[in-house]
Chains A and B, each alone.
Chain A
Amino acid sequence: MEAINNLLGGSTVTDVLFYVFAALTLLCGVLVVANPFSRNPVTSAMFLVLTIISMAGLFVLLHAFFLAAVQIIVYAGAVIVLFLFVIMLLDLKEEQRRKIKVFGLVGGLVSVGAVVAISLKALLTANPGANLPAPQLEGGTNALGQLLFRQYVLPFEVVSVLLLVAMVGVILLSKKDLK
């Protein structure tokens, strides 16, 4: 932790690392959604792993060490494995290129462009980063655990119930003779 903090202390290093991780995240995100070389879902899943790992790098740059570890363990370790299991279970073929409807394409691009334009405009006008004090926050396991088990103990328990419900639901859904 001390070594990481020393490394993150220099502003030039963190800036360059931010640009590297941000570019990697966005590039792999593009390859998840629109890979020009392959329409195979397995390729998308593998690039999703890369996106998530580079996003964990961004979390480390934001001093959220615990969340970076959780991100890698839960997403890259559990969620992606679940995706790959389902892909192999379904034996999905490559998505054949169907005729893309022009209306759908234009509508999708326009709506996504509108969302980006609105949020960037809001960011530029609100300018939330101005006049903030220097960030001191450390998202270590200790601090996060103190907050989680003191102030947020009720949501924590509710989430555990939610996980139980999800587990029961999945077992029921995957039964052969669903009644």
Chain B
Amino acid sequence: MEDGRWRRMRVVSILHPLFSIFIVENMNVGLEHYLVVSFLLFALGLLGVVMRRNLLVIYMSLELMLNAANLALVSFSRFNNQLDGQVLVFFIITVAAAEVAVGLALIVALYRRRQTAHVEDLTSMKL
């Protein structure tokens, strides 16, 4: 392996140590790299849904999870040379927009009644 390529590998692995496990066997950015980013973003969204107490921030974390799924679909579509995945992402974006509109209207209606957007104050359906 020539010298410049080694240096490039070193620089890239210093930039993002998380991905260095993949760099040794596969130099170019491939499907795995995009999938790792997608998994991590999904985990972040899940963490937000589980941990945060504000309804609006929980909703934003849901959007994050949808976006992670979109990224996985687009990268699968690109690396398998099939355009169908991108059509699915198009539909997911449309449905997500409709879902956000309905969900935010629900949150506004809830806030009018209870004057709160905290999940800990909304316990009337708790056993």
Contact = CB atoms under 8 A, between A and B. Distances in A.
Interface of A: 11-12, 14-16, 18-19, 22-23, 25-26, 29-30, 32-34, 39, 41, 44-45, 48, 51-52, 55, 58-59, 62-64, 66-67, 70-71, 74-75, 78-79, 82-83, 86-87, 89-90, 92, 95, 98, 104-105, 107-109, 111-112, 115-116, 119-120, 123, 127-129, 132-133, 135-137, 139, 143-144, 147-148, 151-152, 155, 159, 162-163, 165-167, 169-170, 173-174, 178
B124 interface: no
Query: Which secondary structure dominates chain A's binding surface?
Result: helix
A23 B65 CA distance: 17
B82 to A, nearest CB: 7
Contacts of A66: 86
B29 A18 contact: yes
Contact of A152 (B47, B87, B106): B87
Given A92-B117, A173-B109, A86 B61 contact: no
A129 B32 contact: yes
Instruction: Tell me whether chain B's interface is mostly helix, strand or loop, or mixed.
Output: helix
Given A62-B75, A74-B93, A15 B29 contact: yes
